């Protein structure tokens, strides 16, 4: 048996977006692979029919799609991008027949379009971008487009900021652009605006009879607050008039909706736990207009199970008639649930994660992480239908997670232990403690490449879900507690692991984590010297500057710390790892990305500089062209460099 290699993920294929055809005769999914030579990801639409998989596209840039009919798939792309002019903002959508043949351009829009919704007469509803100062670009006027290009060229050397957030992770400066709803006339090949200026559309969905479109609207203000400001409206496509359905209030924040046959299912929450409050299901009756609670849930409506072998997304909730099917995270796994007649039942429960699914005519397909394998396709009974990643792991050592629960006051800290390859209980092995991000996520019994790589190199790998983690209701509420009970939970788990496994070498104890895990790394080194070396990734070190530079800075910082620089600066500083930087003795590696606007690079700079100023061994590795998702969807060579840097740092400091 061979160990998993540091670049093993180059051979993995990542599945996403499983979707049935309208009548369920076929299904399509996106399969992404890594082109090592070009150092890039290549995504292809793949048909699943008669228990076989057939690649439909070959360009390598096809990720999202939808069925137009039983034989035709529609997807966005820019296949002639190399021929386009500088500053071209148009977008193209292509069709491909399942009967064979090449993809053909079906629609070209003068603005970026993120979603297309076909109507009965061949027209479309589209979600497209509106650019302040050039709001009429959707009309396709070449003079206005030329003026826009000139404006962008003349202003390329500086940014003008007039709103917050002014940037968004992975999307650079927003320049105030927002999403609008348009109708596309197929005959005239022209767009008509349906929503008001300075109104951002976050979600749009057609009613089943295609007579109405429901959409979530947010005001575009100097401070774009997406929490507590949303409003669901219904627009009559015949009259063009929109009606307000329900608005967010301080006591009920809207999260989204789904259109059923006789009612609109609204996802909303009483924000008792701040921004991280999980939603419940509400019902708006089409005929009576009555709105009220339909079913309590209070758990995540997606998979929050972490992994580094996921690329792409997919459906997490779907109305089938008036029955709602959805993914939810419970404890350490994400399963599939059904809401019918106001009652919620779990229909698929297996350790691991359902990442996306679709259902049609009683048939169910799921993409998931089960049995310590990378993503594969499964049927409704959990039978594996694909073997995309079987060859990559054949003959390789895959450590099986052993559960370790630690008793605390009134609750358990739930965690896992991976044993090193060729484990001998009479020997001593170094240990890596890995801390998840979020903090409202979970570690579960799923395949994690970096952890398996370290186990193959002879390390114990331990990881847990401390207070603040998802899947256990109010357990995730860590507001005002950062660095206190969560730190104590993690240290208690570490102590329990060392005690339960005598082969763990407590003199060679290492730690790493990203995002919230990076915050906790920075916190740990200011409160204990027990680790030989640590690697802090995409971290938070100073809540004061985090508030001012992160794309979620103001709302997240004040909500999670129950304080601000103005009403309680002492508390905000208490929860900042920078406060304790003068106590640090642990050699620390910092990993950050220049385009990380979630936990901006200044957070790493500040902690690194503080350690150097106090004579502590430190190193910082900064990645250009990467953002907060470096370890999960960064350029393959950068992901490899990151993992090598962390591993070499630990190896350097092993006793």
How does pLDDT run across 619-650, given as a tens digit for each residue? 999 999 999 999 999 999 999 999 999 999 99
Instruction: Show the tokens assigned to 256.
Output: 């989204």
| C-alpha to C-alpha distance for 76 and 87, rounded to whole angstroms | 18
Phi then psi dihedrals of residue 640, to 5 deg: -65, -45
What tokens appear for 113 in the block? 């379009």
Whether the Cβ atoms of residue 356 and residue 18 lie closer than 8 Å to each other: yes
pLDDT exceeds 60 at position 226 = no
Task: Say whether pLDDT at 475 is over 80.
Answer: yes
Q: Is the pLDDT of residue 223 over 80?
A: no
Rounded CA-CA distance 376/356 in Å is 11
8 A C-beta contact, residue 75 and residue 102: no
231 pairs with which residues across the strands? 217, 247
Say yes or no to pLDDT of 82 above 80. no
Burial (Cβ within 10 Å: 0-12, 13-18, ≥19) of residue 411: middle
pLDDT confidence of residue 78: 77
pLDDT at 177 over 60: yes
Angle of CA points 309, 313, 314, to nearest 5°: 130
Residue 97: pLDDT band by 50, 70, 90 thresholds?
A: very high
Phi, psi of 144 (to 5 degrees): -70, -40
d(CA 274, CA 271): 5
C-alpha Rg value of the chain to the nearest Å:
25
Point out the least confidently predicted range of 72-81, 220-229, 231-240, 251-260.
220-229
Give the pLDDT band (50/70/90) at residue 446.
Answer: very high
Residue 540 sits at φ, ψ, to 5 deg, of -115, 130
Mean pLDDT taken over the chain:
95
Give the tokens for residue 225.
């607050």
Q: Which whole number is the average pLDDT over 113-137?
A: 95
Whether pLDDT at 176 is above 90: no
DSSP assignment letter at 638? H
pLDDT of residue 86: 66
68 Cβ neighbours under 8 A, 6+ residues apart:
74, 95, 118
Q: What is the pLDDT of residue 217?
A: 95
Q: Is the pLDDT of residue 236 over 90?
A: yes
Cis ω for the linkage preceding 439 (within 30 of 0): yes
Q: What is the DSSP letter of 198?
A: T
Contact 1, 455 (CB under 8 A): no
Question: Residues 72, 74, 75, 78: is their CA dihedral positive or negative?
Answer: positive
Residue 407 confidence (pLDDT): 97
- 513-557 pLDDT per residue, tens: 999 999 999 999 999 999 999 999 999 999 999 999 999 999 999
**Averaged pLDDT, 149-172:** 88
Q: Would you call the peptide bond into 165 cis, given omega within 30 degrees of 0 as the criterion?
A: yes
- b or e along 117-133 (b: 16 or more beta carbons within 10 Å of the residue's beta carbon)? bbbeeebbbbbbbbbee
3-state secondary structure of 602: helix
What integer is the mean pLDDT of 479-497?
98
- How much is the average pLDDT of 135-149? 97
CB contact at 8 A, 273 and 300: no
Question: Please, which pLDDT band fits residue 175 given cuts at 50, 70 and 90?
Answer: confident
Rounded to whole angstroms, the Cα distance separating 14 from 401 reads 22
What is the rounded average pLDDT of the residues 169-178? 86
DSSP letter at 36 equals T
- Domains and their CATH numbers in the chain: 1-108+308-320+336-396 (no CATH), 111-298 (2.40.128.660), 397-652 (3.40.50.1820)
Cβ–Cβ < 8 Å for 182, 192: yes
Q: Which of 25-34, 152-161, 462-471, 514-523 has the lowest mean pLDDT?
A: 152-161
Do residues 68 and 93 make contact, with C-beta atoms less than 8 angstroms apart? no
Please compute the mean of the pLDDT values over residues 578-602 and round it to a whole number.
Answer: 98
pLDDT > 90 fraction of the chain, expressed in percent and rounded: 92
Range 486-495 average pLDDT: 98
46 contacts 27 by C-beta, under 8 angstroms? no
Is 21's pLDDT higher than 60? Answer: yes
Q: What is the structure's pLDDT at 83?
A: 53
Closest CA to 638 of 200, 41, 67, 93: 41
Say what the pLDDT of residue 174 is. 81
For residue 87, pLDDT beyond 90 = no
pTM score, two decimals? 0.96
- pLDDT, mean of residues 191-209: 95
Q: Are strands 376-379 and 291-295 parallel, antiparallel or unpaired?
A: unpaired
> What's the start-to-end Cα distance of the chain, in Å?
27
If DSSP codes are grouped into helix, strand and coil, which group holds residue 104?
strand
> Nearest CA to 111 among 142, 79, 77, 139?
139
Q: Say which residues have a Cβ less than 8 Å from residue 472's Cβ, sequence separation at least 6.
A: 331
The dihedral sign for the CA sequence 157, 158, 159, 160: negative
Q: Is 596 helix (H, G, I), strand (E, B) or coil?
A: coil
Q: Band the pLDDT of 85: cuts 50, 70, 90.
A: low
Query: How many Cα atoms within 13 Å fall on the side-chain side of residue 470?
Result: 27
Residue written as tokens 């490899």? 640
Contact 75, 65 (CB under 8 A): yes
Are 460 and 498 in contact, with CB atoms under 8 Å apart? Answer: no
How far is Cα 53 from Cα 455, in angstroms, rounded to an integer?
Answer: 33
Residue 18 near residue 377, CB atoms below 8 Å? yes
Whole-number Å distance between alpha carbons of 349 and 345: 10
Q: Dihedral sign for Cα 319, 52, 350, 432, please.
A: negative
Q: From residue 193, give the alpha-carbon distance in Å to each of 92, 136, 143, 182, 492.
A: 19, 9, 19, 5, 57
Taking CA atoms, 349 is separated from 309, 337, 353, 472, in Å, by 21, 9, 9, 16
Q: Is the pLDDT of residue 454 over 60?
A: yes
Tell me the pLDDT band of 181, cut-offs 50, 70 and 90: very high
Task: Give 221's pLDDT tier (boundaries 50, 70, 90).
Answer: confident
pLDDT digit string (tens) for 341-392?
Answer: 999 999 999 999 999 999 999 999 999 999 999 999 999 999 999 999 999 9
Q: Which among 155-169, 226-240, 283-297 has the top mean pLDDT?
A: 283-297
On the 0-12 / 13-18 / 19+ scale of CB atoms within 10 A, 401 is: buried
Q: Distance (Å, rounded) from C-alpha 652 to C-alpha 279?
A: 46
Long-range contacts of 68-71 (CB under 8 A, 24+ apart): 68/95, 68/118, 69/21, 69/22, 70/21, 70/22, 70/23, 70/25, 70/26, 70/98, 71/97, 71/98, 71/99
* % of the chain beyond a pLDDT of 70: 98
Residue 416 has pLDDT above 70, yes or no: yes
């Amino acid at each position: 048996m061979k160990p998993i290699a540091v670049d093993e993920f180059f051979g993995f294929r990542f599945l996403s977006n499983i979707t049935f055809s309208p009548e369920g005769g076929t299904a399509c999914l996106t399969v992404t692979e890594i082109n090592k030579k070009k150092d890039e990801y290549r995504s292809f639409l793949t048909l699943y029919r008669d228990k076989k998989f057939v690649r439909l596209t070959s360009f390598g840039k096809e990720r999202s799609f939808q069925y137009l009919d039983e034989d035709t798939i529609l997807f966005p792309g820019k296949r002639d991008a190399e021929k386009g002019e500088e500053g071209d903002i148009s977008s193209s959508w292509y069709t491909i027949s399942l009967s064979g043949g090449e993809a053909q351009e079906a629609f070209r829009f003068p603005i970026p379009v993120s979603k297309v919704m076909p109507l009965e007469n061949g027209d479309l509803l589209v979600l497209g971008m509106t650019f302040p100062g050039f709001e009429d670009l959707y009309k396709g006027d070449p003079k206005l487009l030329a003026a826009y290009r000139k404006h962008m060229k003349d202003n390329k050397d500086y940014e003008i900021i007039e709103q917050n957030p002014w940037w968004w992770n992975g999307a650079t400066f927003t320049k105030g652009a927002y999403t609008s709803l348009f109708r596309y006339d197929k005959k005239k090949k022209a767009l008509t605006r349906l929503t008001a200026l300075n109104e951002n559309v976050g979600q749009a969905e057609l009613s089943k009879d295609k007579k109405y479109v429901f959409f979530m609207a947010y005001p575009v203000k100097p401070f774009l607050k997406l929490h507590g400001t949303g409003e669901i409206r219904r627009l009559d496509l015949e009259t063009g008039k929109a009606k307000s359905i329900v608005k967010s209030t301080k006591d009920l924040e809207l999260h989204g909706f789904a259109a059923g046959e006789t009612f609109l299912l609204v996802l909303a929450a009483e924000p008792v736990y701040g921004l991280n409050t999980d939603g419940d299901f509400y019902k708006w009756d089409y005929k009576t207009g009555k709105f009220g609670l339909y079913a309590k849930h209070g758990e995540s409506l997606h998979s929050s199970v972490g992994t580094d072998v996921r690329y792409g997304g997919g459906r997490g909730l779907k109305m089938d008639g008036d029955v709602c099917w959805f993914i939810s995270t419970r404890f350490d796994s994400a399963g599939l649930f059904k809401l019918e007649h106001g009652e919620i039942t779990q229909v698929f429960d297996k350790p691991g994660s359902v990442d996306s699914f679709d259902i049609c005519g009683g048939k169910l397909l799921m993409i998931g992480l089960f049995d310590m394998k990378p993503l594969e396709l499964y049927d409704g009974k959990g039978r594996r239908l694909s073997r995309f990643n079987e060859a990559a792991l054949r003959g390789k050592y895959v450590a099986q997670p052993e559960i370790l629960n630690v008793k605390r006051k009134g609750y358990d800290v739930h965690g896992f232990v991976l044993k090193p390859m060729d484990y001998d209980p009479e020997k001593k092995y170094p240990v890596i403690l890995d801390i998840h991000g979020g903090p409202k996520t979970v570690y579960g019994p799923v395949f994690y490449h970096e952890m398996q790589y370290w186990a193959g190199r002879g390390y114990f790998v331990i990881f847990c879900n401390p207070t603040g983690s998802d899947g256990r209701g109010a357990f995730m509420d860590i507001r005002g507690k950062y660095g206190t009970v969560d730190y104590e939970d993690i240290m208690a788990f570490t102590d329990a692991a060392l005690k339960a496994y005598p082969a763990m070498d407590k003199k060679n104890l290492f730690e790493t984590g990203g995002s919230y895990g990076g915050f906790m790394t920075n916190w740990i080194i200011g409160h204990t010297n027990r680790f030989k070396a640590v690697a802090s990734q995409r971290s938070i070190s100073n809540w004061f500057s985090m508030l001012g530079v992160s794309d979620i800075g103001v709302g997240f910082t004040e909500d999670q710390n129950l304080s601000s620089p103005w009403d309680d600066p002492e508390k905000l500083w208490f929860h900042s790892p920078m406060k304790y930087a003068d106590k640090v003795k642990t050699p620390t590696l910092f990993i950050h990305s220049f385009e990380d606007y979630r936990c901006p690079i200044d957070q790493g700079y500040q902690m690194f500089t503080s350690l150097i100023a106090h004579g502590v061994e430190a190193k910082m590795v900064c990645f250009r062209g990467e953002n907060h998702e470096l370890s999960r969807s960064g350029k393959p060579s950068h992901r490899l460099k990151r993992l090598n840097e962390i591993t070499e740092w630990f190896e350097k400091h092993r006793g």
